[in-house]
Amino acid sequence: MTPEPFATWRRMIKEHGLIKTVFLRVDDTVTRITTGLNINDIRSVLRGDPPGKPNPRVKPHTESAIFHIWPSFYHEAVTKFYPTFRLGMLSTLLFFVEIMTGLFLMIYYTPAPGVAYDNMLKILSNVPMGQFIRDIHRLAAEFMVVAVWLHMGRTFLTGSYKKPRQFTWATGVILLIITIGLSYTGYLLPWDQLAYWAVTIGASMADAAPPPEVGKAVALLLKGGPDLGAAGLLRFYLLHVFALPLVAILFIFVHYYKVVRHGHSLPPEMEPIGEDTARKVSQDKRVPFLPDVLTNELVWFGILMVALVVPVALNIYNAPLEHAANPSSTPLHTVAPWYFLFIQGWLKLGDKTFWGVIFPTILIGLLLLWPYIDYNPSRRYGDRRIALAAMFGVIGILVISSYMGTPGFAVTTAPQIEIGYEFMPGEKVGPIRAIPFDQMKEGTWSTLDLASIPDDAPELRRVMEELAAAVSPQSVPPVQTINGQEVRYTNMYGELTINIAQTANGEPTLKELILGIHWDEQPTDPTNGRPGYFVYTYVSVDSTYSSGGE
């Protein structure tokens, strides 16, 4: 027989007519795409009708590569907000948000010092939606660290790590470490001062790994040299975009396979002690994945995306970008990323090797082995008083240690340097730069003579009043204590000198701001040979500091 073109179409048109044929073909295509649901099935899903028999909505779970990952029904008890809080699903969604936004950012990024920072500026100023995507990538990364931590806390709280889910818990701990690793390696990539010094602090932990030969080798392997440079940036980049995501995907699949294999653990109060009935779901407790659970998850996806997009669209959240990394100039009060602050806090307690490496390693080991250490078979809250007390104790310790990691704790420089940093920090904006450009009035303004500040500069006045409060004896701590006698600066005052540095057509385009801190018996400032302590900065008419820019 000779093959004819469109044989099926011609046969069907002859049999059903043209309109019905088009409908049948469309219906067939829809059924192929949904792997089993035709237009009528979808319509009945959307109308909320009960499924027919046999249930066509189960078919995608056997036919579709995507849907076969999910169970075809959940136990009714785990479809509520409690006990899962949707944290595992949100973590996974955030991971995919990171992959999509990360792919976009990779297009405009070159992992090389000198180029990387320039790429950041280009993404902000020359790529439509560039800032938007970068902000979302950064915000979702912060959310992901929070979500994964909370997910672990929830699993501990409900005792879901107990038999038979010990291994699921262990893969979860590894995913937590990978998440933090992803966030930390990504931190360096903008190659600005914030990134460079925060990562330098963290990477110096590797140096402390015992014995010294191993520490040296690990640090060299990680940083690609004695200091972070081109080699280190490339290594962090490859870890961030390739190695860690690969391992993360592997562990996400293992983790989720185990979740499906064992079933979502039921609320602890529902199960007999020592048993696990998650897989034995009676007919009346079954909630089908299609459509109920999927709809629920899509709503959560919507909530998550709105929580990411709206703060970014309204400029409530902007990913930080400081000046280009300068290995020869360490900014004051350098801190590690917030999720490492607790380690920075421990480091202030003493030995770097013990508090920075050995102690955290012991804790990770304890976390991994916890399901085998905690032999109590009961998941009921009332039976787990010690474990729950330990959990809240650890949370308390982490919060306090994180506070200890901030510069406010046990790191003090001289008062004039602290005040200078507070009002005119080297990297962040600070109150003085945020004064609107036209309110930066030429002249010298002193906290001793606030009345002379012109009335059309209310922001200048407000900041000078703040400065007056900051230099007042009540708020300046003693410089040192000798034999129980507090030594304090006396008659402290601040002065802000504003000069016009550059003009165009007679209008100022660049202003010079000099913050001077003065007190009795002040030494001479080496930068300009005048008595007192001085901080210099310049502000351009095109800056956006007063409207929240950086």
Partner 1 sequence: MQSKIFLGTVLFIILFVATGVVLLNEGILPEQQTTPANPGTGRMQIEQRAILGGSKEQGALLFLGNCSTCHGRNGEGVPGKGPTLHPDLFTKHFPQIKSTLGGFGGTVKDFIRLTVAAGRPIESAWAIEQGGFPQRMPTWGKAYGGPLTDQQVEDIVNFIMGWQADAGAAQVVEFDAAGSDITKELPAGDAARGEQLFAQQVKQAGGSNAACKACHSLVPGEILTGPSLAGVATRAGTRVAGETAEQYIRHSIQQPNAFIVPDDPKFRQPNGKSAMPEGLGNLMSDQDLADLIAYLLTLK
Q: Which residues bind partner 1 (CB under 8 A)?
A: 46, 48, 114, 117-118, 121, 124-129, 131-132, 291-292, 295-296, 298-299, 302-303, 305-306, 309-310, 312-313, 323-324, 326, 328, 501-506, 509-510, 512, 527, 536-544, 549
Q: Closest Cα to residue 145, out of 186, 103, 104, 205?
A: 186
- Contact 190/117 with Cβ under 8 angstroms? yes
Residue with tokens 């000046």: 323
Question: In whole angstroms, how close is the CB of 299 to partner 1 at the nearest point?
Answer: 5
- Contact 498/512 with Cβ under 8 angstroms? yes
Question: In whole angstroms, how close is the CB of 500 to partner 1 at the nearest point?
Answer: 10
Q: Closest Cα to residue 180, out of 367, 353, 388, 318?
A: 367
State which residue, 421 or 489, has the beta carbon closest to partner 1.
Answer: 421
Question: In whole angstroms, how close is the CB of 100 to partner 1 at the nearest point?
Answer: 13
Q: Which residues touch 59 (CB under 8 Å, ≥6 apart)?
A: 35, 36, 37
- Contact 320/112 with Cβ under 8 angstroms? no
State which residue, 127 or 388, has the beta carbon closest to partner 1.
Answer: 127
Q: How far is the C-alpha of 447 from the C-alpha of 451, rounded, in Å?
A: 9
Question: In whole angstroms, how close is the CB of 295 to partner 1 at the nearest point?
Answer: 5
Under DSSP, the state recorded for 264 is: P
State which residue, 224 or 291, has the beta carbon closest to partner 1.
Answer: 291
- Contact 11/18 with Cβ under 8 angstroms? no
Q: Where are the beta strands (DSSP E) in 7-92?
A: 73-75
Q: Which residues touch 275 (CB under 8 Å, ≥6 apart)?
A: none
> Is beta strand 533-540 parallel, antiparallel or unpaired with respect to 493-504?
unpaired
- Contact 304/536 with Cβ under 8 angstroms? no
Expressed in percent and rounded to 5, the helix, strand and coil fractions of the chain are 60, 10, 35
State which residue, 277 or 537, has the beta carbon closest to partner 1.
Answer: 537
Question: In whole angstroms, how close is the CB of 531 to partner 1 at the nearest point?
Answer: 16
- Contact 141/71 with Cβ under 8 angstroms? no
Question: In whole angstroms, how close is the CB of 433 to partner 1 at the nearest point?
Answer: 9
Question: In whole angstroms, how close is the CB of 147 to partner 1 at the nearest point?
Answer: 18
Q: Closest Cα to residue 545, out of 437, 438, 424?
A: 437
State which residue, 169 or 423, has the beta carbon closest to partner 1.
Answer: 423
Tokens of 57: 């909505």
Report phi then psi at 51, rounded to 5. -70, 155
Question: In whole angstroms, how close is the CB of 421 to partner 1 at the nearest point?
Answer: 16
- Contact 232/224 with Cβ under 8 angstroms? yes
Question: In whole angstroms, how close is the CB of 216 to partner 1 at the nearest point?
Answer: 28
Question: In whole angstroms, how close is the CB of 126 to partner 1 at the nearest point?
Answer: 6
Question: In whole angstroms, how close is the CB of 513 to partner 1 at the nearest point?
Answer: 10
Q: How far is the C-alpha of 48 from the C-alpha of 291, rounded, in Å?
A: 9
Q: Closest Cα to residue 221, out of 212, 210, 232, 211?
A: 232
Q: Sheet with 443-446: list strands edge to edge.
A: 443-446, 493-504, 507-518, 533-540
- Contact 178/248 with Cβ under 8 angstroms? yes
State which residue, 206 or 293, has the beta carbon closest to partner 1.
Answer: 293
State which residue, 69 or 298, has the beta carbon closest to partner 1.
Answer: 298
Q: Where are the beta strands (DSSP E) in 135-283?
A: none
State which residue, 58 or 324, has the beta carbon closest to partner 1.
Answer: 324
State which residue, 45 or 208, has the beta carbon closest to partner 1.
Answer: 45
State which residue, 246 or 313, has the beta carbon closest to partner 1.
Answer: 313
State which residue, 193 or 344, has the beta carbon closest to partner 1.
Answer: 193
State which residue, 198 or 321, has the beta carbon closest to partner 1.
Answer: 321
Q: Closest Cα to residue 427, out of 492, 344, 333?
A: 333
Question: In whole angstroms, how close is the CB of 399 to partner 1 at the nearest point?
Answer: 32
